[in-house]
Amino acid sequence: MAETGAAVRVRLAPSPTGTLHIGTARTAVFNWLFARHHGGKFLLRIEDTDKERSKPEYTANILEGLQWLGINWDSEPVIQSERIAEHRAAIQQLLDSGKAYRCYASEAELTEMRERQAAENRAPRYDNRHRDLSAEQEQAYIAEGREATIRFRMDDEAVITWTDLVRGEMRWSGADLGGDMVIARRAPADQIGDPLYNLVVVVDDAAMAITHVIRGEDHIANTAKQLLLYEALGAPAPVFAHTPLILNKEGKKLSKRDGVTSVNDFRAQGYTAEALANYMTLLGWSPPEGMDERFSLSDAAAVFGFDRVNKAGARFDWDKLNWLNSQVLHERSPEQLLADLQPLWNAQGWSSADQAWLLELCALLGPSLVTLADGIEQARAFFERPELSEAALQQLGQDGARPALQALLHQLPEGPISADTAQELLGKAVAEAGVKKGVLMKTLRAALLGSLQGPDLLTTWLLLQPSGEARARIERSL
């Protein structure tokens, strides 16, 4: 099936009730890729009608997170709470045409109804008890002082079908939607209470002329309800695409218990925007034959389509994310890496006024980084004098180790040296002490880094030389 006819307009509709969630970010990625692939618009709508749970700082976090990921949007975000008059007008239209009605059932009555259904092992559903009240019955409830919700008539006989871009032909029975649906919260009977999710989404998507609704598969039942509302309101329905859920290693929906769920968390762990955006695209989509798994969002947009989106849930694969992140970091120039690492180093209280030195350090560490957080651990020994490990002490105790280091120290000049000079000095020290070069190298590493592991030894030495730190560490270990 062709995915589009008219100019594509898609939207992300986050609720600002928390920080940018990885699931929302992945939905954003798919919407963005689809819009950019078709030269369409990617719009934002902030669904802030839940007054208690919505917070402006969450909206700010969501926008900032999207920006960080490289997901830009077209036009100012629509703020749902500013559109309540339109939502109420739509509800009035449904009331006027008899497609919606007031329900005076009290909370206690509804609870009693649900408990009875549960006791009889039946699925909970509203029994449509106030669907056809007579004018006298309504007056009697109002006289009792009862408030009313507004419910939308759902035809139990209805068969709702749509062609989902991910899941193909979908079919839902009106009888499985829980009975007449509340579209406005309880309010005095001469008013329209707060409009509810399914109604406002339809009104807003129609007003924004959204052509494709791309969202998580947890919304499938909502889609069936929303299609009934489009019909009742006489608005053309968009095309739907329901993307697979993100699952944890155990195959369960990724949740707070998995530790990292918000884009902030990934960022704090040292993942780059490029790797995370790349990885989120792979959570459910596979690139065409011959395309690498490491790509930019615009590379992916060029070839993106729902024909390559899986129906099955997408398992979160840390190894793949780590691999992508290391690829991104290895591609970074020392300048770019420094821009990423400097704030992290500063937060540790580490700084240097010597820009060239900082860039050399980045060039040294870059190839071994998996996350930016590794760039803290691996840089530590260049800013703080490390303790000598057991293994380092043992190495210093080896035959010929200290004399060789002593010989090197004798010839060590002050200030910076070149790699050639360093090699020469090593050669002389080895000759003087009568040890193998390997012994001196290993011992020098132990003295400089306090450990037998670490980055390239010669570069490490050259970096520690200008400040006198190389000399100080050698002296200390003697």
Residues engaged in binding ligand GLU (CB under 6 A): 13-15, 47, 201, 215, 219
In the complex with ligand GLU, the residue whose CB is nearer, 66 or 103, is 66
In the complex with ligand GLU, the residue whose CB is nearer, 15 or 149, is 15
In the complex with ligand GLU, the residue whose CB is nearer, 246 or 401, is 246
Place of tokens 């009697």: 140
In the complex with ligand GLU, the residue whose CB is nearer, 17 or 106, is 17
Rounded distance, CA 452 to CA 97, Å?
A: 81
* Residue 235, SS3 per DSSP: coil
Sign, CA torsion 142/146/149/154:
negative
Torsion of CA 4, 8, 14, 15, to 10 degrees: -90
Among the listed residues 249, 252, 256, 436, the single catalytic one is 256
In the complex with ligand GLU, the residue whose CB is nearer, 197 or 357, is 197
**Smallest distance from the beta carbon of 215 to ligand GLU, in angstroms?**
4
Sign, CA torsion 212/217/218/224:
positive
**Smallest distance from the beta carbon of 204 to ligand GLU, in angstroms?**
9
**Smallest distance from the beta carbon of 11 to ligand GLU, in angstroms?**
8
In the complex with ligand GLU, the residue whose CB is nearer, 197 or 350, is 197
Distance, C-alpha 259 to centroid of its chain: 13
Cβ atoms of 10 and 40 closer than 8 Å = yes
**Smallest distance from the beta carbon of 45 to ligand GLU, in angstroms?**
8
Radius of gyration (Cα) for the chain, nearest Å?
32
Ramachandran class of 309: left when φ > 0, alpha when ψ lies in -120 to 50, beta otherwise: beta
256 flagged as catalytic: yes
Rounded distance, CA 357 to CA 421, Å?
A: 18
**Smallest distance from the beta carbon of 65 to ligand GLU, in angstroms?**
14
**Smallest distance from the beta carbon of 60 to ligand GLU, in angstroms?**
17
* Residue 367, SS3 per DSSP: helix
Q: Which of 115, 32, 61 is nearest to 300 (CA)?
A: 32
In the complex with ligand GLU, the residue whose CB is nearer, 15 or 325, is 15
Cβ atoms of 439 and 380 closer than 8 Å = no
Q: Which of 152, 130, 148 is nearest to 187 (CA)?
A: 148
Which tokens is 88 given? 């109420």
On the 0-12 / 13-18 / 19+ scale of CB atoms within 10 A, 93 is: middle
Sign, CA torsion 408/413/416/417:
negative
**Smallest distance from the beta carbon of 280 to ligand GLU, in angstroms?**
16
Which tokens is 398 given? 């080896």
- Active-site residue set: 256
